Every structure is written in C-alpha cells, then in structure tokens.
C-alpha cells in the first residue's frame, strides 16, 4: 500500500516537472470522479451544447492534468483570421505542453487524450489555480486572469490537488465597470454583447465598428487584439503584465 502511494506520488511529480519544463506556468491534478460528480455546464457560444464528462471522452478516466499558461503580454491576445477560422498565438504553447504530457504518459503505457469539451474554468478551480472571478475568468493570486488553460485526461491514477477556495474578488467590481459594452454582471457574461465573441463570430460588425476600433485594434487585415478590458481592470497579475504602448 505504502509502496503504491509512493509510486503515485513519484509519477505525479514527474508529470508536473515535465509540464513545467515544457513551459507550463501552473500544473494541477483533478480526480476524474470529482469532476464528473458535478453537473454539466451549458456552453452558449458556438458549440451550443453541454460540457462533456471525463468518462464520455475516455471510459477509464482516472485523472485530469490541468495546465495553465501565463500570457504576460498584450501581444499574446492576438486573434488571426485563417480562412473561415481563427488562430490564437497566445494559446499555441499549450498545444506543445499538452502533447508533451500525453507522449510521456503514453510511453509509460497509459492512455492520454486532450480534454476537449470539458469546462476548463471549473477544472482550474478544482486544481487549485484560482477562484472563479466576477469577470467570469479564473483569477490566480500571482498571474491574475492572465492565464490560458488546457487539460489532459488519463487512465493513470495521480495525486489530486486541493481546490482553490478563497474569494479574491471580495467587494471589487472593477471588471464589471470596465466592460465597454456592459456584457458583465458579477460572475455572469452576456455572450451576445462581449466584443470578443461578437467579433469572432463575425456578428455585429457595423454596429460595433467604433467599439472594435477602440478596444480590439487591428494590426493587419487579418489580425486584431481581443478586448482586454475585463482582465486589465483586475488588480491581480497587473504588475507582471505588459500592455500595448500604441495610443488608440
Ligand atoms: C465559450 C467561451 C467563451 C465565450 C463565452 C464566455 C464564457 N461564457 O465564459 C466568449 C467568446 C465570449 C469568450 C470570451 C473570452 N474568453 Co473564453 N472560452 C469559452 C470556452 C470555449 C467555454 C466556456 C463556457 O462557455 N463554459 C460554459 C459556462 C457556463 O461554464 P464555465 O465557463 O465553464 O463556468 C462555470 C463553472 O466554472 C461554475 N463556477 C465555478 N466556480 C464558480 C464560482 C461562482 C461564484 C459562480 C457564480 C460560478 C462558478 O459556474 C460557471 C457557470 O456555470 C472556454 C474553454 C473551455 N473549454 O472551457 C474558453 C475560456 C473560458 N475563455 C478564456 C478566455 C481567456 C477568454 C477571453 C479573455 C478571450 C481571450 N483572450 O482568450 C474572453 C473573456 C471574456 C470573459 N470575461 O469571460 C479562457 C479563460 C482563462 C481564465 N483565466 O479563466 C478559457 C478557459 C480558454 C482557455 N483555453 O484558456 N470565451
């Protein structure tokens, strides 16, 4: 029994070390059972479906490795149009980190798949990364909301982390006040108003032209920054984030 526990701890440590070496800023583990015991959440944008349970992606799921990547500069908030879709340079490092973790586990004989379709925000809170903030983003005490998330599902049993239970927002509502289109109320977002979603779906271009010019500056015909106002307003992570120097 003790030997098994030591092995679990060793494997968990190795996976975490590897993810950090591959560039992750935060790494945590959530038990697949714990995640699956919570109700599904409705994804009201593009997908229009409930989030998946871990067992739907992998019947033998035991652990979910949650990965966080610190986006320390506004330039990592670019969205670049490619044909009918979009490329997000700030998210690309997570693909490499995810693949590295998957390869490592597969070489050891475990199953490992990217946890597409799960609620990453819920996973991040369960992995101890931070709280679900009033801007509806996960806020980490060090990086603030400036983290991007991914997750790997595996049949390897790993040692789970403790969930994050502190409330970092308390009575602060700066993000709600900062949203230029009034898309936020505490802990809720109106996806039909948020400039990021409206722009990426290609809806409301004419109606929002001036808002896009001010809050989603374009650099080329294809590339624009996603609106940053609800993240900038957050007092966490601000001192280690560099902002656009252009005057808009
Ligand atoms: C759809 C989507 C959008 C939509 C809708 C936004 C939304 N509803 O969150 C649009 C296009 C508008 C959008 C915008 C952005 N998004 Co987005 N988006 C997603 C996506 C694909 C699904 C989220 C979703 O709709 N889930 C369904 C909702 C209902 O559930 P949930 O968000 O998971 O949260 C529930 C639980 O967390 C639970 N909960 C847990 N604790 C608590 C505590 C309290 C008090 C409460 C009330 C609830 C609660 O309740 C929530 C509601 O049921 C995720 C990726 C993913 N797979 O999760 C990224 C994701 C949430 N987006 C992300 C980001 C960064 C952004 C943007 C900043 C754009 C950008 N630069 O990338 C903006 C920010 C806008 C904002 N303030 O939220 C990150 C969030 C990182 C973080 N720090 O939290 C994610 C995780 C992508 C990623 N891979 O990193 N996004």
Residue ranges and CATH numbers for the domains of the chain are 2-154 (3.40.109), 174-240 (no CATH)
Q: Which of 35, 70, 51 is nearest to 153 (CA)?
A: 35
Q: Is the pLDDT of residue 120 over 90?
A: yes
Q: Could you tell me the pTM of the whole model?
A: 0.95
Ligand 1 pocket test, candidate residues 57, 120, 135, 139, most atoms within 8 A of CB:
120
Mean pLDDT of 88-105: 97
- Ligand 1 contact via 187 beta carbon (within 6 Å): yes
Q: Is 119 in the pocket of ligand 1 (CB under 6 A)?
A: yes
d(CA 231, CA 224): 17
The verdict on the CB of residue 138 being under 6 Å from ligand 1 is: yes
Whether the CA torsion 82, 83, 86, 91 is positive or negative: it is negative
pLDDT value at residue 204? 60
Kindly report which listed range (36-50, 149-163, 171-185) carries the lowest average pLDDT score: 36-50
Share the mean pLDDT of the chain: 94
Establish whether residue 61 lines the binding site of ligand 1, counting it when its CB lies within 6 angstroms of any ligand atom.
no
């Amino acid at each position: 029994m003790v030997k098994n526990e030591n092995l679990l701890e060793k494997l968990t440590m190795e996976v975490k070390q590897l993810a950090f070496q591959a560039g992750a800023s935060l790494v945590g583990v959530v038990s697949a059972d714990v995640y699956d015991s919570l109700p599904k959440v409705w994804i009201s944008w593009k997908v229009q479906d409930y989030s998946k349970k871990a067992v739907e992606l992998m019947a033998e799921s035991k652990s979910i490795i949650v990965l966080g990547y610190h986006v320390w500069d506004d330039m990592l908030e670019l969205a670049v149009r490619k044909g009918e879709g979009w490329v997000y340079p700030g998210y690309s490092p997570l693909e490499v980190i995810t693949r590295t973790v998957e390869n490592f586990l597969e070489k050891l004989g475990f199953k490992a798949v990217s946890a597409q379709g799960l609620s990453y925000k819920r996973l991040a809170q369960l992995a101890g990364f931070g709280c679900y903030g009033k801007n509806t983003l996960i806020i980490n005490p060090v990086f603030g909301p400036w983290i991007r998330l991914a997750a790997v599902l595996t049949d390897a049993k790993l040692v789970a982390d403790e969930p994050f239970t502190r409330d970092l927002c308390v009575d602060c509502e700066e993000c709600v006040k900062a949203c230029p289109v009034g898309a936020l109320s505490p802990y809720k977002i109106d996806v039909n108003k948020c400039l990021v979603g409206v722009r990426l779906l290609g809806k409301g271009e004419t109606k929002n032209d001036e808002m896009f010019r001010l809050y989603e500056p374009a650099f080329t015909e294809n590339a624009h920054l996603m609106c940053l106002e609800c993240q900038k307003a957050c007092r966490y992570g601000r001192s280690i984030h560099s902002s656009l120097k252009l005057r808009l």
